[in-house]
Amino acid sequence: MALSHWRPLIALTIVLALIGGAIAWQGKSTSSSPAKVAKVTKSDAEWQRMLTKEQYRILREKGTERAFTGKYWDHHERGVYVCAGCDLALFDSATKFDSKTGWPSFYAPTRKEHVESVRDTSHGMIRTEVVCARCGGHLGHVFGDGPKPTGLRYCINSASLVFLKK
Binding residues for Fe ion, rule: CB under 5 A, are 83, 85-86, 88, 132, 134-135, 137
Q: How far is the CB of 135 from Fe ion (least distance, A)?
A: 3
Our CB check for Fe ion shows the closer of 137 and 146 to be 137
Q: How far is the CB of 77 from Fe ion (least distance, A)?
A: 21
Our CB check for Fe ion shows the closer of 33 and 41 to be 41
Q: How far is the CB of 107 from Fe ion (least distance, A)?
A: 20
Our CB check for Fe ion shows the closer of 86 and 156 to be 86
Measured in residues, the chain has a length of 166
The single-letter DSSP state of residue 72 is: S
Q: How far is the CB of 62 from Fe ion (least distance, A)?
A: 14
Our CB check for Fe ion shows the closer of 86 and 155 to be 86
| Cα–Cα distance list, 74 to 32, 94, 165 (Å) | 37, 14, 15
The Cα–Cα gap between 161 and 84 comes to 5
Given a contact cutoff of 8 angstroms between Cβ atoms, the answer to whether 81 and 160 are in contact is no
Given a contact cutoff of 8 angstroms between Cβ atoms, the answer to whether 131 and 142 are in contact is no
Q: Assess whether 132 carries a catalytic annotation.
A: no
**Beta-strand relationship, 79-83 and 161-165:** antiparallel
Q: Which of 83, 132, 135, 155 is catalytic?
A: 155
106 forms beta bridges with 96, 154
Residues annotated as catalytic (active site), given as ranges = 155
